[in-house]
Structure 1
Amino acid sequence: MKNSIHFKASEVVSVLDTLTLTPGNLDVIKARDVWEISKQGEGNVVAVLDTGVDTDHQSLSRNIMDGYNFSDDDKGDPNIFEDYAGHGTHVAGIIAAYQDKGRGIYGVAPKCKLLILKVMNRNGVGSYKSITEAINYAMDWTGPKGEKVNVINMSLGGPTPNEEMHSAIKKARRKGITVVAAAGNEGDGNPNSFERSYPGYYQEVIQVGSVNKELQPSFFSNNNVNIDFVAPGENVYSTHLDNKFVKLTGTSMAAPYVAGSVALILNMIEREKPSMIPYFVYHYLLTHARKLNYSIHSVGNGLVQLTSANKLTFMTSYSPEKFAYFFK
C-alpha cells in the first residue's frame, strides 16, 4: 500500500514467562558504563510510535506516562493504546524496561519514561497520516509535571516519501527532539543495492541498521547512503504480551537501542539551546561510535557506543552529505 507504514514481522523464537537478565547487548553498546553519570535516562521522555504497549507489563508499567491511539483498533478509541501484536511492547522494553522484585529485563535507559503513541494496528499496518498526527502530538504533549518529549522512536517504515510526515519531522527536530527510526528489513546483503524506507531515510532522522552478535551487518538490514549507525538487531530478548518475554529480530530492534542511548546521552550533554540538542546528540554518537570494517552503506558511522570519556576527534568514516547536514 503506497501510503501505509508497517513493520516486517519477526518470528518469535522463544517465549519465557519469567526472565531475570541483563542483556549482553547493553554491554555491546556500553550502556551500563554510563548509567551512573546519565542517571539511567531519568527525566527524559521517549515517544514510541508503534503498535501500542502491554500497559500492565511488570517490566514496563511504571515507566509508561501516557499514550494515545491513532490506529483503527478498538474502533479508534484514542484512550486505548494496548498492544495486540507485541511489536510495540518489545520495542518499548529495549528502551526502558526494568527489573521488578528480581524479575524482568533491563532496557538501555530503565529510568526514562515512555509516551506510547499507537500508530499501527494489530496487523502491523498504519498510515502516513497516523504517524504525522502522532509526531505532532508528541511535539505538543506535556506531562503532569511539565515533562516534554525528548526522543521519538519509529521502528516502522513505508516505501515512499511523504511530505506532510517529513515536515512534521523537521519541525520536531527544530524543537529539539531527536528522531530515530529503523532502516528497514528489505536488504539483500549487497551494500551497493540501495533500499529506502521512510521516515528512516530522511536526513533529519537517525537511521539505524542492524548487526549480528559478531558485529557483521545483518543480511536483511537495508543499505543506503543515509545509514547513520548500527546496533544489535538479531535475536533480541525484550518484553512482550501477557507479561512475557520473547526474542525478535529486525532493524525494529536496533533502532530502540539508539533511542534509549539518546535518553542517556541527553543527561551528559549541553541542553541550554533546544534547537541545538539533536546536533549535540549526533556529535556524541558520531565521535564515540566504533568503526566497523564494512561499507558505510551498511553500517554508516559504525556501532553505537556509550562512554563518559571525552573524545575530541571525529571519525573518518561517514556520509559527507549527512555530516554536512548535521554540522552546517
Structure 2
Amino acid sequence: MDIYKIKKAVLTVCAGLAMLGSAAMLTMAEDSPKQSVIVQGSDLSAVREAVLSVGGEITHELGIIRSVGAKLTGAQLEKLRTFKQVRKVYENSGVETSAVDKPACSVRGKTKLRMKGDQIEWELTNDGSGDVHLDSATLFWPAANDRLTEVEMNGDEIIEDETTGVSATFGSEDWEGDDRDIMIKRGRHTKFSLQFDNDVVRDQRSYEIRLVFREGCSVEFPPPPDILFSGDSDRQAKRSYVTSMVDAGRLHDQAIDGMGVAVAVIDSGIRAKAGMMKYLDEGAWGNRRLLAQYDALKGREIRRDSDSDDNGHGSHVSSIIASSRYKDGEFNGIAPNVDLVMVKAFNAEGRGSYADVIRGLDWVVSHRHEYGIGVVNLSFSTEPRSYYWDDPLNQAVMAAWESGIVVVASAGNRGPDAMTIGVPGNVPYIITVGAMTDSMTPTISDDDTLASFSSAGPTVEGFVKPEIVAPGGHIRGMMDKGNKLVKEHPLFHDGDSYYTMSGTSQSTAVVSGVVALLLQAHPELTPDEVKCRLMASARPAVNNRDELAYSVFQQGAGQVDAYAAVNSTASDCANQGLDITADLDGEAHYGGLANQDENGNYYIMGMDGYLWSNGYIWSNGYLWSNGYLWSNGYLWSNGYLWSNGYLWSNGEILSDGYLWSNDYLWDDGYLWSAGLTESAYTNVWVEQE
C-alpha cells in the first residue's frame, strides 16, 4: 500500500466520521428507543456506576475489555459520553457457562511400537480423570522372537518368566513381588516393554497386546480398525499432506497428538455429525472431543453436537487443526486427538461483526479453564481502522493472550503488497500466519513458493508481520456438500466430504494445530514462550546462495516445523520490551523496529541485511533451511515505547525516537459505530495456488 492510498483511506474515514456524527444527532431525542451497547472504560466498576447514574440498565459485564453491557436511550447515551471514565461505546451481549467431564478411566497407546535389539516398547498415556491399575495383560508375538523373558512397566519388572510359544496371558496375581500395584497416574505417560531371547521381528503387524485395567477400561495394540480409520473401514479417505509438510507425523508416533489440549475456533460453526464429518467430533481413538459450542451471533450456548456451520469455512479450518481421519500412514489433521471448542461468530455468508467476535472471545476467555482452552484460532481478517491498541477487537485479542491463551491469527489475503496485514493479525503480541504453497506437488519441497495472496508487513506501527508461514495453498479439508461455499465453488468439492481451499485461513489452522502439539508436550509454556519456540524453530526460505528468498516482512521467521518446535529449548526471543498489561491499561503503547528509507525500501532498524523494496519478490522455488544464521536473533519481533507517534520517515534519530510521516496517522482514532457493526470476514476467496 503506497502513501497515496493511505491518504485516500484517511480522507474516506474522515468523511465517514462526518456522516456518523450527523446520524448520531438523530438519536438524541428523549423518546428515542433504548439501544443495546457496550460501554468501555479503564475501570469496570467506574463504568458501571456511570451507566447507572444516567438511568441506564446494566445487562452484562464484559471484563475482557473492561466493559459493561447496557440499554440506553439516545439522551442517556449522550449524557454518558461526557463522563471521563467512559472511553468508547459499542454493542453488548452475554454468555452462559457449561462444563464437560473427562471419563475416569481412559488409557491411550501409541500407534507404533518402538523396537530395538531384543526389546519392544509401547508408550501409554492415562488420559482419564483418575489413576488406573493394571489388572491383566494378553500378548502375542512372532515365533522368531523365541521366548518372552521379561515384562516391564515404566522400568519396573512386573514379570520375569521365560515363556515359550507365541502368546501369554498374565493377571495381577502374577506380578513380581508382594502386593505389587502396577499403576499409571492421572495425566502421566508410561512405557510397557517386552524382552525376548532373540532380536525382535520388525514387522509391527506381528504383535498384539491387550491391557485391561481394574477401573474398567482397556487399550489394544494395534488399535481396532474402526478406531484407527485405516484400510477398508474408510475407503473414501484421502491424504491432506499438511501433516507431513510440517513434520507432525513424527510427533504422532510419539503420542504427541494434541490430547489434553483444547483449541477454540472462532468461525462460522462446525458440522460434525453427518457422514464422514464425524472425524471432527471424534478423536483418533473414538473419543468425543467436541466439548462445547457457543453461538456468538445469538449470545447463547448451543448443543455440543449441533451442525452449526452453514458456510463451511469453520468446518474446513477445524479439520485442518484436528481431523482424526487416517490415510496412507498419516492423519488429516495436525492434532488428531485435540479437543475442540467451537464459537460461531460468522453467518452463512462468512460475515460477522466486531461485536459478534468480541462476544465470542469473551466467552472463550471466561471458559478457558473449564475446557482446557490453550489456543484460539482466528482465521479471519479485516482492514485496520486505527492503531492496534485503539481497536476494540484487538483489545479483546490482547486480553485473551494476557489470560494465558495462545492466539493464532491469519495475516490476511490482501497480498502481495507491503503493509497489508489485517486485524487482528496486526496485534504485535500474537502469532500471525502467512501462507506458502507447494505448487501442487506436496511431496516435493524444492518448488515451494510464498503464496501471492498472503498479506505482508510491516504494520503501521512498525512491527514485522507475519511471524511465520505455513501451508495455505489448495489445502484439502473436510466440508459438507450442503455448505454455501460448496454451492458457490462446486468444482473444489469431491462430492463426498473433502473440499480444497487456499488462504491464510488454512495456514493459520495448521499453526494452531502445531501449537496444540507444543502445549501437550510442554504445558508449562506461556504464550510468549510458545511464540518464541515457533519462530526459533521455523525454516526460512533461502536460495542456493543461502540468502533469504523472501523478506522477513513476507515470510517472518519461515515455515513452521512442528517437530523442531516441540524439541526447541529457545527462550526470551519474542515480545521482549512489550508490556501487554500496560498496553491494555492505556499506560504505554509500542512501536516495532521496521522503517522505510527515502527510496521507499523497508528495513529493520539496527539490523543489516533485511532491506525489502516495496515490490513482491517472486521465487520459482527454494529450500526450507533449518540452518540459516539469523542476524541478532529475533530482535525484530521486539518493540519499544511509542512516543508522540512513530511516523514513517527516513529513519532519522530524533530526541523522542523515530519520526515517521504524518500520512500514517489516524486523527484521534477511528470513530467506531455505536453498534460496533464493522465487518470482519472469515474468507476472501482466492484462486487455488
Say if 2:477 is the partner of 1:238: yes
Say if 2:385 is the partner of 1:132: no
Shift of 1:21: 3.1
Match of 1:6 in 2: none
Match of 1:195 in 2: 420
CA 1:181/1:282 → structure 2, altered by over 3 Å: closer, same or farther?
same
Say if 2:514 is the partner of 1:286: no
- Aligned residue type for 2:321: I
- Aligned residue type for 2:554: S
Contact 1:70–1:118 (Cα < 8 Å) also in 2: yes
Say if 2:173 is the partner of 1:173: no
Once residues 27 and 18 of structure 1 are traced to their aligned partners in structure 2, the CA distance between those partners, rounded to angstroms, is: 21
Match of 1:34 in 2: 251
- Which of 89, 94, 112 is 2:315 aligned to? 89
Q: How does 1:5-44 map to 2 (within 5 A)?
A: 19-37=236-254, 39-44=256-261
**Deviation string, structure 1 residues 178-201 (Cα, Å, up to 9, x no partner):** 0001111111x34xx220210111
Shift of 1:55: 2.6
Once residues 340 and 635 of structure 2 are traced to their aligned partners in structure 1, the CA distance between those partners, rounded to angstroms, is: 33
Once residues 322 and 195 of structure 1 are traced to their aligned partners in structure 2, the CA distance between those partners, rounded to angstroms, is: 18
Say if 2:447 is the partner of 1:208: no
Match of 2:381 in 1: 157
Shift of 1:37: 4.0
Shift of 1:321: 4.4
Tell me which protein shows more strand as a share of its residues.
Answer: 2
- Which of 300, 305, 308 is 2:561 aligned to? 305
SS state at 1:132 partner: helix
- Which of 535, 552, 569 is 1:296 aligned to? 552
Shift of 1:59: 1.4
SS state at 1:150 partner: strand
CA 1:203/1:312 → structure 2, altered by over 3 Å: closer, same or farther?
closer
**Deviation string, structure 1 residues 111-152 (Cα, Å, up to 9, x no partner):** 001110011000011011111111110011167xx4321100
Contact 2:243–2:331 (Cα < 8 Å) also in 1: no
| Unmatched runs of 5 consecutive residues or more in structure 2 | 1-12, 17-89, 91-233, 283-288, 439-446, 459-464, 482-495, 542-548, 574-628, 641-689
CA 1:38/1:138 → structure 2, altered by over 3 Å: closer, same or farther?
farther
SS state at 2:256 partner: helix
Contact 2:475–2:500 (Cα < 8 Å) also in 1: yes
Q: How does 1:89-128 map to 2 (within 5 A)?
A: 89-99=315-325, 106-128=332-354
Once residues 393 and 426 of structure 2 are traced to their aligned partners in structure 1, the CA distance between those partners, rounded to angstroms, is: 12
Match of 1:7 in 2: none
Shift of 1:23: 2.4
- Which of 216, 226, 229 is 2:468 aligned to? 229
Once residues 296 and 434 of structure 2 are traced to their aligned partners in structure 1, the CA distance between those partners, rounded to angstroms, is: 26
- Aligned residue type for 2:411: A
Rg (Cα) greater in structure: 2
Shift of 1:324: 4.9
Shift of 1:100: 7.2
**Deviation string, structure 1 residues 276-318 (Cα, Å, up to 9, x no partner):** 6112211210221001121111100100002254465976277
**Deviation string, structure 1 residues 236-288 (Cα, Å, up to 9, x no partner):** 001101571111111110000000000000022251xxxx6112211210221
Question: % of aligned pairs identical?
Answer: 26
Once residues 357 and 430 of structure 2 are traced to their aligned partners in structure 1, the CA distance between those partners, rounded to angstroms, is: 14
- Aligned residue type for 2:269: G
SS state at 2:510 partner: helix
Once residues 113 and 230 of structure 1 are traced to their aligned partners in structure 2, the CA distance between those partners, rounded to angstroms, is: 24
Shift of 1:67: 0.5
Contact 1:33–1:306 (Cα < 8 Å) also in 2: no
- Aligned residue type for 2:271: D
Once residues 31 and 178 of structure 1 are traced to their aligned partners in structure 2, the CA distance between those partners, rounded to angstroms, is: 19
Say if 2:371 is the partner of 1:147: yes
CA 1:298/1:128 → structure 2, altered by over 3 Å: closer, same or farther?
same
Say if 2:278 is the partner of 1:61: no
Shift of 1:323: 3.6
Say if 2:450 is the partner of 1:217: yes
Match of 1:182 in 2: 410
Match of 2:515 in 1: 262
SS state at 1:259 partner: helix
Contact 1:154–1:182 (Cα < 8 Å) also in 2: yes
Q: Which runs of structure 1 show a deviation greater than 3 angstroms over 4 or more consecutive aligned residues?
A: 308-315, 317-321
Contact 1:66–1:116 (Cα < 8 Å) also in 2: yes
Q: CA RMSD in A?
A: 2.8
Contact 1:169–1:179 (Cα < 8 Å) also in 2: yes
Contact 2:238–2:327 (Cα < 8 Å) also in 1: no
| Unmatched runs of 5 consecutive residues or more in structure 1 | 4-16
CA 1:138/1:106 → structure 2, altered by over 3 Å: closer, same or farther?
same
Moved more, 77-86 or 24-33: 77-86
- Aligned residue type for 1:31: A
Once residues 400 and 263 of structure 2 are traced to their aligned partners in structure 1, the CA distance between those partners, rounded to angstroms, is: 13
TM-score normalised by L of structure 2: 0.41
Match of 2:63 in 1: none
Tell me which protein shows more helix as a share of its residues.
Answer: 1
CA 1:270/1:148 → structure 2, altered by over 3 Å: closer, same or farther?
closer
- Aligned residue type for 1:167: Q
How many residue pairs match? The answer is: 299
CA 1:250/1:22 → structure 2, altered by over 3 Å: closer, same or farther?
same
Contact 2:326–2:332 (Cα < 8 Å) also in 1: no
Higher relative contact order (CA 8 A, sep 6+): 1
Once residues 65 and 310 of structure 1 are traced to their aligned partners in structure 2, the CA distance between those partners, rounded to angstroms, is: 30
TM-score normalised by L of structure 1: 0.82
